[in-house]
Amino acid sequence: MTTKQLRDKVGKRIKEERESRNMSVEELANLLNISTSYLNLIERGERGTVQMRLYRLSQIFGVPIDTLFDGKKKGGITAAESRRNKLVSITTDMNEKELECLISTAKGIRGLRPDVAVVDNDEE
């Protein structure tokens, strides 16, 4: 396989994974800390990407790195699950006061949605 063929294959897989999670180019580019135009070049196979970025992509998509090469899914997570995981990792070292503030904010956000009832489960 030539370098160009490999870039085409990996770029196509990245685009498929992104689209399967209903992620925009902008959203994924922001998570990778690259420009949208550069991500477009990667997805079209016109540019390659470094190993650390492939590792980050596998974390974002929740798939093993080899899925980006062979396209065989060995389990994965949705974009929403990926965001939840990110939120959990951010909150790991928060103290009790910070967690209470975050919970209060989340309840306030959910309260803005008319289709969702806010349930208070503080007795856990």
**Is residue 7 one of the residues assigned to a domain?**
yes
Q: Are residues 58 and 89 in the same domain?
A: no
* CATH code: domain of residue 33: 1.10.260.40
**Is residue 47 one of the residues assigned to a domain?**
yes
Write down the pLDDT at residue 46: 92
Q: Rounded CA gap, 78 and 22, in Å?
A: 9
The tokens describing 21, both together, are 């999670």
CA distances 41 to 10, 53, 70, 81, Å, are: 12, 14, 20, 27
Contact 69, 13 (CB under 8 A): yes
Write down the pLDDT at residue 114: 66
Contact 6, 47 (CB under 8 A): no
**Is residue 117 one of the residues assigned to a domain?**
no
Q: Are residues 64 and 83 in the same domain?
A: no
Write down the pLDDT at residue 124: 40
Write down the pLDDT at residue 52: 74
Write down the pLDDT at residue 89: 74
What are the residues whose beta carbons fall under 8 Å from the beta carbon of 68, sequence distance 6 or more? Answer: 10, 13, 14, 17, 54, 57, 58
Write down the pLDDT at residue 25: 95
Mean pLDDT split into 10-residue runs, the chain, 124 residues: 85 92 92 94 91 84 81 60 74 87 85 63 46
Domain count, the chain: 2
Q: Are residues 59 and 39 in the same domain?
A: yes
What number of other Cβ atoms are within 10 A of residue 62's Cβ?
A: 17
SS3 of 29-43: the string is HHHHCCCHHHHHHHH
Contact 69, 9 (CB under 8 A): yes
**Is residue 116 one of the residues assigned to a domain?**
no
| Prediction pTM value | 0.53
